[in-house]
Amino acid sequence: MAKSTLFGLYALNAAIASIGIKTSRKTDKHRAWAEINLDNLDHNLSELRRVLPSATSIMAVVKADAYGHGAVRVAKRLYAGGVRFFAVAEIEEAAALRKKGVKGDILILGYTPSDRLEDLIRFNLTQTVTNAEDAERLQAFGKKLKVHIKIDTGMNRLGEPWSHEERILSMYRHSHLIVLGTYSHLAVADSLEPDDVSFTRTQTKRFNDLVERIRDAGLPTGRLHLQSSYGILNHSGLTADLARPGIALYGLLSNDRDRVLADVELRPVLSLKASVTRVAMVRAGESVGYGRSFVASRDTKIASVSIGYADGVPRVLSENGGCVLIRGRRAKIIGKISMDQITVDITSLTDVEPGDTVTLIGQDGDNSISAGEIGRLAGTITNDVLCSIGSRVSRETISLH
């Protein structure tokens, strides 16, 4: 049954009602921080497993520091939950996980330069073969490498085009390449428009037909995988050995107004918070911030907040109606967002003081702001919002288990 999966106020309220979130007040935290709820991560993993065929295992996508959540803590928690396959974008991400003791198979989804190929062996990693020439380069390295073969079925990004059958077959015949998997990527699995659903089916058929021909040639395909988050949520019945959830693992969709077919309850894993540093009055006619972009039309009570665009807050929020939560109520962002500070209008709020907690993403009392809402206001996607949260924002783990 189709279900609207919007991560606005009602979804966040439902997601955390069981743990009794109260209105945030004072904090002794430094500047800005993100809270990572690993119990919600566990829940999302369970939900995704529930909608997938029982024979399909999860390959957790933890690239870009697990979408800003902290790749090491996320991967270790998922491993404890039974996940044995992980995917990252590049060699440095994979090596960093190994150095921190992350176990399991780690697939590098992108290109690894020749001067880093030795690290594939050193850290026991699996490399994507991006096309036929790449296979020849890896073969010329002269040592056994574990690989997954990438097939381009219509995304026109990485992968050998599906129609190049002989070139594809040659990729499986290299003596130094140990083929452990074959995969592709769906271009419009997030869309339920008929033309897009048809294109997804076309990609799937291209992939399955090609896999059959590879096997007919007596070549091993290894584990098969096609679905990322939307492929799971809109095409959960596809037969594959692995599925590669990214954004859905973290409790969100790329666009919070998207609809998906799977009946799932995803819980956001990350909340973003900061502190009130100053409370002041601005008289009617006075301006706030760079460029005098905000001029008070009335006497206005304002609060300075210890977070800015260097921490990942999109500058356009102040122009597009962006808000924060203070003591469970919305406060509008005014003036241009600075590198380290934002200013909010707290005229309608009472008793706001320096040291009060400010929520930019997450729940405070009965109100919430989702990463999807921020993405909409900023003209981007949820993934971008999460990945843009800066490294100087500390990450703090929340877990009852």
Strand-strand pairing, 145-152 and 300-305: unpaired
Quote the CA–CA distance of 180 and 14 in Å, as a whole number: 41
> Can 290 be counted among the known catalytic residues?
yes
* CB distance 356 to 6 below 8 Å: no
Residues placed in the known binding site: 157, 339
> Can 99 be counted among the known catalytic residues?
no
Residues placed in the known binding site for substrate: 157, 339
Phi, psi of 301 (to 5 degrees): -90, 130
Residue in 22, 26, 290, 301 annotated catalytic: 290
The amino acid sitting at 26 is: K
Strand partners, 57: 242
* Continuous segment of H or E residues that includes residue 175: none
Residue in 63, 146, 150, 273 annotated catalytic: 63
The amino acid sitting at 264 is: V
* CB distance 39 to 401 below 8 Å: yes
| Other beta carbons within 10 Å of 141 | 15
Helix and strand tally (H, E) in the chain? 12, 22
Collapsed DSSP state (helix, strand, coil) of residue 31: coil
CB-facing half-sphere around the CA of 74: CA atoms within 13 A: 33
| Other beta carbons within 10 Å of 125 | 21
Rg (CA), the chain: 24
- Residues with catalytic roles: 63, 290
